[in-house]
């Protein structure tokens, strides 16, 4: 287990370093002079020169890179051009808001996805109805789904708030939008592993032992589905976070996603890069977590992956 | 007194494909019948039909199977489920695949008890550990908490035996349980099986293609080819005096059997067993060195050679 | 004889209904883009473009089948013109991302060793970058032209294709006929061209269809967030952004471009599903049925 974990952590760290390098290169390529953003467009050349020196913008690229990597490693993501506050604080303030949304979405995704997948997997033939639902959900991008739900439930029916707040009711539509989009993936994975388990030799053994059908499904079939679902949560995280950005923008939900969207429109480079790095860290952390949980619930995983 | 297990005229079909034709035999209580043949001979289909474990799509088209006083071929629904494990137990070939990878060995034995008779969880667990000790596992408490991939092949097969015998079935169907094991472990498992058979007075139906295993464990032998039993009889009689050319060929493949078996014109069997529909006449005739005129015409009748020894071959001539 | 041929065609049509519907729909969207000039000038703000109270026309209003937007521009003309941009981005980005993914995945699977390690680590880095977040950052760098958006979408999506192709190509490479070819000294390039590519072609097609769906939604999505083609050039994504503000009083401003996006994604998903199903195994048995 220790060996397995350390291997995973090293791979995760390599990915994070890669992302930090990428964001550094992106900053270099970004149009516009950061010093001008700080000092203002009408600043005197002398002031500009001082700002440039303070920001180490005239240092060689390697020195700048070392400084950048160093500050990111210390948890310093720079200061927002617009809000004049540390990026880490800005993101930290909004983290709980986004975490709630993400949790509700994941709950919707897992309940519906696993439920539908099991229902389909236990049927003798694939359900055409479910296949149609899957195709439909796959065809409606997150933001489109959000607009449709907003139109129907907030504007036409007036049942739910149109967004902007952070109360429990404000979470319903965004959470549903975020969750529904992932349902087909989970349903497909669960249905597939259910079918694989039903056809597996160990199910024949369980039947031959005379176990009741319900027990076989609950114990022998369902347990083998846990591991692929956890793997999918990890794999899906990068896409899921994209969904968060869209959903937060559509519903004007004040989380990290809308912070980033604002940072983009305002050309607030440190905030933009900060959210990229944080997003990547979250994705990598979730992949790591998924691997660990999988190793705990599935005794085979450690052997397969580390072996 | 009638035999403990009686199989009468069983036909097994998968849709249009007839896998077993007219199989009949009996097994005495506490003895072992080895069902021998190459893959595709129908031996597994016949054994699974007897154990009511045919894969979906397969069915006993006609014939009866009786184990003790239970006619298993006519069981269905809840009755069938209750018979599983109690009337007939099953020992799978690939123990790695046959054990659930995410459940401990102990739980997989204990659940057999727990699902029955309102046995409590802790009682079931205790029974499971006892059963593990019975199949010769050292430190059974520790092994009960282990998963399939943590056990050696021999240990896994012992766990499988503990599971299969947990409810003291009357008949145990063993589907080549030792093929994946190395020779010494195989010998241990076979010895254990014999010992448990004596202790529990359980009848064995042992599927194998390995004549060495047959020599080790079988009291009686039934040789299958092309979905039919072509020769059957007491192990001693079949080994010392094989009548059917196919049996002779099988014995010739046995390591070190070259001297014991009568000299046959072919040491190994050429060609391969039929896959689709069997050829007309005797199914073995395309590969048989002794094939002559009637072989591709009619299916030879089963001829009694005395003392429970029968065979179906045109070389035996027309029965009187 | 013609009767049997017609019957065969009918049966084929029934078997591949999903594929046919998907292709027809996608073809329809392409046609819609091609005939855009027929629907008039998407930038014109005619006098009758707004109602007397200055409101936009709803759908099916006189002379404006899909209504007008808040400046009085014809929504049909704008959607069709938008289709040109959106579909151009989608097709280009799909080709480049799948193409790059296939190249990297096959190179990693074929050359193994340090090349595999390097390529797959890079792939992992790209896979762990949240798509939209980095899309915004990338768009800020590369800019919001068609080529820029294509580059952004490619950067975001090639890694998925690379992962999948790598897995399949690796499995293929271990197959006997490929190992035999390599062992007998057939040059690498020939092995890839003759043995690996043909066997991957069906996977690549499926990948391209499903990736097409993703690329259409992300392309329009980025534009919706402001990181795509900028107004006044019509594009489905920026039309969505314009319509989003008017959702409660003129929903057609949003629903028209939304329908365009959904129909296009739907067509790709249908094609992808049909192709994926063709390669899928038939139903497996269930031991619970015995």
pLDDT at B265: 39
Average pLDDT over residues A51-77: 82
**Encoded tokens for C145:** 């032209």
Angstroms from C286 CA to nearest CA on chain B: 7
Pairing of strands B220-225, B32-36: parallel
Q: In the predicted model, is pLDDT for residue B267 greater than 50?
A: no
- Report yes or no: B56 at the C interface, CB cutoff 8 Å: yes
Name, in order, each residue with C-beta under 8 angstroms of B4's C-beta and a sequence gap of 6 or more.
B26, B27, B28, B29, B30, B67, B68, B170, B171, B203
Nearest residue in chain B measured CA to CA from A220? B100
DSSP sequence for C21-72: HHHHHHHHHHHHHHTGGGG--TT---GGGB-TTSPBP-TTBTTBTT-B-TT-
Q: How far is CA B167 from the centre of its chain?
A: 19
B100 contacts A202? CB cut-off 8 A: yes
Distance CA C69, CA A113 (A): 38
- How many residue pairs bridge chain A and chain C with CB atoms within 8 Å of each other? 174
Which of A212, A224, A227 lies closest to B115 in CB terms? A212
Per-residue CA distances from A53 to A37, A71, A164 (Å): 14, 17, 41
Q: Is the peptide bond before C159 cis (omega within 30 degrees of 0)?
A: no
Q: Give the gap in angstroms from C-alpha B144 to the nearest C-alpha of chain A.
A: 15
Judged against a pLDDT cut of 60, whether residue B258 lies above it is answered with no
| pLDDT of C283 | 52
Q: Is C114 within 8 Å of chain B by CB?
A: no
Question: A152: nearest CA in chain C?
Answer: C248
Binned at pLDDT 50, 70 and 90, residue B189 comes out as very high
C192: Cβ contacts below 8 Å, ≥ 6 apart: C106, C110
> CA of B110 to nearest chain A CA: how many angstroms apart?
11
pLDDT value of residue A57 = 75
CB contact under 8 A, A280 and C130: yes
Which residues lie across from B12 on neighbouring strands?
B20, B60
Residue A216: closest CA among chain B residues belongs to which residue? Answer: B111
Report d(CA A147, CA C239) in Å as an integer: 13
Chain A residues within 8 angstroms (CB to CB) of chain B = 200-202, 204-212, 215, 219-220, 223-224, 226-227, 297-300, 303
Has residue B34 got a pLDDT over 90? yes
* Residues of B whose CB is below 8 A from A207: 53, 84
Say which of A151, A203, A273 has its CB closest to residue C251.
Answer: A151
| pLDDT higher than 60, residue B21 | yes
C contact residues 174-213, partner B, Cβ 8 Å cutoff:
none
Distance in angstroms (rounded) separating the CA atoms of residues B133 and B136: 5
Residues of B with a Cβ under 8 Å from any A Cβ are 51, 53, 81-86, 89-90, 92, 94, 97-103, 108, 111-112, 115-116, 147, 149-150, 160, 163-164, 166-167
Cβ atoms of C71 and C17 within 8 Å: the answer is no
- Spatial separation of the C-alpha atoms in residues B55 and C286, rounded to whole Å: 8
Cβ atoms within 10 Å, residue C271 = 25
Task: Give the separation between CA A187 and CA A207, rounded to whole angstroms.
Answer: 26
- Reported pTM: 0.81
Torsion, Cα of B45, B46, B51, B53 (10° steps)? 20
Q: Encoding tokens for residue B258?
A: 């070259």
B261 has a pLDDT exceeding 50: no
Which positions 160-219 of C are in contact with A (Cβ < 8 Å)? 213, 217-218
Range in B33-47, B106-120, B210-224 the model is least confident about: B106-120
Q: What is the pLDDT of residue B275?
A: 63
Q: What Rg value do the Cα atoms of chain C yield, rounded?
A: 23
Among residues 267-286 of chain C, which lie with CB inside 8 Å of chain B?
285-286
Across chain A, mean pLDDT equals: 84
Q: Find the residue in B nearest to A213 (Cα).
A: B81
Tens digits of residue pLDDT in A107-138: 999 999 999 999 988 887 777 778 888 888 88
User: CA–CA distance from B142 to each of A110, B50, B68, B104, B240 (Å)?
Assistant: 36, 35, 37, 11, 46
Tokens matching residue B197: 């058979």
Kindly indicate the confidence band of residue A169, based on its pLDDT and cuts at 50, 70 and 90: confident
pLDDT-derived band at A301, boundaries 50, 70, 90: low
Q: Is B53 in CB contact (< 8 Å) with chain C?
A: yes
Mean pLDDT of all residues in B192-221: 91
Which residues in B lie closer than 8 A to residue C288 (C-beta atoms)?
Answer: none
C-alpha A168/C-alpha C198 separation (Å) is 53
Cβ-based contacts of A200 with chain C (< 8 Å): 287
Rounded to an integer, the average pLDDT of A243-266 is 88
Residue B155 pLDDT > 90: yes
| pLDDT value at residue C3 | 62
SS3 label, residue B177: coil
Measured in degrees and rounded to the nearest 5, phi and psi for residue A158 equal 60, 35
Q: What does residue B203 show for φ and ψ, rounded to 5 degrees?
A: -90, 140
Supply the pLDDT for residue B262: 42
Integer Cα distance of C133 and C216 in angstroms: 17
Instruction: Mutation target for C interface from B55, B81, B83, B97: give the one with most C CBs within 10 A.
Output: B55
Q: Which two tokens stand for residue A166?
A: 């952070």
Q: How far apart are CA B221 and CA B237, in angstroms?
A: 9
Q: Give pLDDT, residue A144.
A: 83
Residues 6+ apart with CB under 8 A from B206: B32, B33, B34, B35, B174, B213, B214, B217, B218
Positions of chain C with pLDDT lower than 70, given as ranges: 1-3, 49, 278-284
CB B53 within 8 A of CB A204: yes
Q: Which of A254, A252, A244 is nearest to A279 (CA)?
A: A244
Looking at the DSSP bridge assignments, the partners of residue B26 are B6
The pLDDT tens digits for B50-102 are 999 998 888 999 999 999 999 999 998 889 998 998 899 999 988 889 999 88
A1 to chain B: which residues are within 8 Å by CB?
none
Cβ contact A101:A248 at 8 Å: yes
Tell me the C-alpha distance between B123 and B131, whole Å: 12
Note the pLDDT tens digit of each residue in C117-147.
889 888 887 887 777 777 877 787 777 788 8
pLDDT of the residue at B271: 60
- Tokens 């998963």 map to which residue? B147
Sign of CA dihedral B302, B304, B309, B314: negative
Rounded-to-integer distance, Cα A256 and Cα A279, Å: 9
Mean pLDDT score across all residues of chain B: 85
Beta partners for residue B233, in sequence order? B221
Q: Give the model confidence (pLDDT) of A175-188 as tens digits.
A: 999 999 889 889 88
**Calculated CA dihedral for residues A241, A247, A249, A255, nearest 10 degrees:** -60
Residues B16 and B202 sit within 8 Å (Cβ to Cβ): no
């Amino acid at each position: 287990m220790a060996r397995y974990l350390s291997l995973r952590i090293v791979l995760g760290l390599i990915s994070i370093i890669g992302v930090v390098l990428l964001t550094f290169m992106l900053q270099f390529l970004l149009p516009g002079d950061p010093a001008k953003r700080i000092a203002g467009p009408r600043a005197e050349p002398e002031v500009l020169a001082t700002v440039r020196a303070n920001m180490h913008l005239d240092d060689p690229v390697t020195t700048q890179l070392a400084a950048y990597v160093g500050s990111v490693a210390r948890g310093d993501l720079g200061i927002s051009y617009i809000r004049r506050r540390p990026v880490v604080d800005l993101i930290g303030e909004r983290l709980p808001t986004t975490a709630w949304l993400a949790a509700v979405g994941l709950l919707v995704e897992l309940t519906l996805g696993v439920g539908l997948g099991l229902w389909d997997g236990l049927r003798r033939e694939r359900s055409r109805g479910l296949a149609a639902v899957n195709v439909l959900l796959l065809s409606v991008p997150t933001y489109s789904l959000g607009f449709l739900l907003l139109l129907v439930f907030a504007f036409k029916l007036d049942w739910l708030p149109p967004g902007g707040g952070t109360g429990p009711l404000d979470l319903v539509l965004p959470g549903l939008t975020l969750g529904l989009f992932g349902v087909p993936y989970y349903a497909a994975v669960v249905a597939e592993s259910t079918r694989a388990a039903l056809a597996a030799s160990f199910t024949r053994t369980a039947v031959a032992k005379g176990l009741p059908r319900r027990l076989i499904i609950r114990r022998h079939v369902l347990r083998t589905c846990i591991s692929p679902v956890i793997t999918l949560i990890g794999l899906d995280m990068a896409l899921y976070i994209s969904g968060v950005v869209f959903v937060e923008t559509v519903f004007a939900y004040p989380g990290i996603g809308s912070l980033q969207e604002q940072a983009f429109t305002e050309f607030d480079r440190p905030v933009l890069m900060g959210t990229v790095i944080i997003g990547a860290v979250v994705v990598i952390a979730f992949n790591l977590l998924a691997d660990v949980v999988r190793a705990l619930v599935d005794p085979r995983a450690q052997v397969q992956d580390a072996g | 007194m009638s035999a403990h297990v009686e199989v009468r005229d069983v036909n097994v079909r998968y849709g249009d494909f007839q896998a077993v034709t007219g199989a009949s035999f009996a097994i005495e209580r506490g003895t072992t019948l080895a069902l021998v043949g190459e893959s595709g001979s129908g031996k597994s289909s016949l054994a699974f039909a007897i154990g009511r474990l045919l894969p979906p799509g397969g069915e006993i088209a006609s014939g009866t199977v009786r184990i003790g006083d239970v006619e298993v071929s006519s069981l269905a629904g809840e009755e069938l489920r209750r018979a599983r494990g109690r009337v007939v137990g099953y020992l799978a070939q690939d123990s790695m695949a046959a054990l659930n990878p995410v459940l401990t060995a102990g739980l997989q034995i204990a659940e057999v008890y727990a699902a029955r008779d309102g046995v409590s969880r802790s009682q079931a667990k205790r029974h499971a550990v006892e059963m593990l000790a019975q199949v010769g596992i050292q430190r059974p408490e520790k092994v009960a908490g282990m998963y399939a991939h943590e056990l050696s092949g021999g240990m896994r097969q012992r766990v499988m035996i503990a599971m299969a015998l947990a409810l003291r079935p009357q008949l145990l169907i063993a589907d080549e349980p030792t093929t994946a094991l190395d020779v010494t472990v195989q010998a241990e498992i076979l010895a254990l099986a014999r010992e448990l058979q004596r202790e529990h007075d359980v009848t064995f139906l042992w599927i194998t293609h390995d004549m060495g295993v047959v020599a080790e464990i079988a009291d009686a032998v039934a040789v299958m080819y092309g979905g039919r039993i072509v020769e059957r009889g007491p192990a001693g009689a079949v080994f010392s005096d094989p009548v059917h050319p196919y049996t002779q060929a099988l014995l010739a493949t046995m390591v070190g059997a070259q001297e014991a078996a009568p000299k046959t014109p072919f040491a190994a069997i050429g060609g391969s067993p039929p896959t689709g529909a069997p050829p007309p006449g005797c199914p073995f005739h395309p590969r048989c060195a002794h094939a002559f005129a009637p072989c591709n015409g009619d299916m030879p009748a089963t001829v009694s050679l005395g003392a429970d020894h029968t065979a179906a071959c045109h070389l035996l001539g027309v029965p009187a | 004889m013609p009767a049997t041929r017609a019957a065969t065609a009918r049966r084929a049509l029934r078997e591949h209904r999903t594929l046919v519907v998907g292709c027809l729909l996608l073809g329809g969207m392409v046609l819609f883009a091609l005939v855009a000039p027929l629907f008039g000038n998407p930038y014109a703000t005619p006098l009758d473009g707004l109602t007397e109270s200055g409101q936009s026309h709803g759908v099916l209003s006189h002379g404006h089948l899909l209504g007008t937007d808040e400046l009085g521009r014809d929504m049909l003309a704008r959607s069709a013109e938008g289709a040109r941009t959106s579909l151009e981005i989608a097709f280009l980005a799909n080709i480049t991302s799948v193409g790059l993914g296939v190249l990297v995945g096959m190179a990693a699977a074929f050359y193994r060793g340090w090349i595999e390690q390097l390529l797959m680590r890079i792939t992992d880095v790209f896979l762990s970058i949240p798509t939209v977040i980095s899309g915004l950052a990338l768009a800020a760098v590369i800019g919001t032209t068609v080529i820029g958006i294509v580059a952004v979408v490619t950067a975001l999506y090639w890694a998925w294709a690379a992962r999948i192709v790598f897995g399949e190509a690796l499995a293929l490479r271990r197959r006997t006929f490929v190992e035999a070819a390599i062992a007998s000294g057939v040059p690498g390039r020939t092995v890839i061209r003759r043995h690996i590519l043909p066997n991957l072609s069906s996977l690549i097609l499926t990948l391209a269809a499903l990736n097409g769906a993703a690329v259409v939604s992300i392309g329009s999505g980025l534009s919706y967030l402001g990181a795509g083609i900028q107004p006044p050039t019509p594009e489905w994504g920026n039309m969505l952004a314009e319509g989003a503000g008017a959702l409660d009083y003129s929903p057609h401003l949003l629903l028209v471009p939304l329908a365009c996006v959904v129909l296009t994604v739907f067509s790709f998903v249908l094609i992808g599903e049909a192709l994926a199903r063709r390669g899928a195994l038939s139903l497996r048995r269930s031991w619970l049925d015995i």
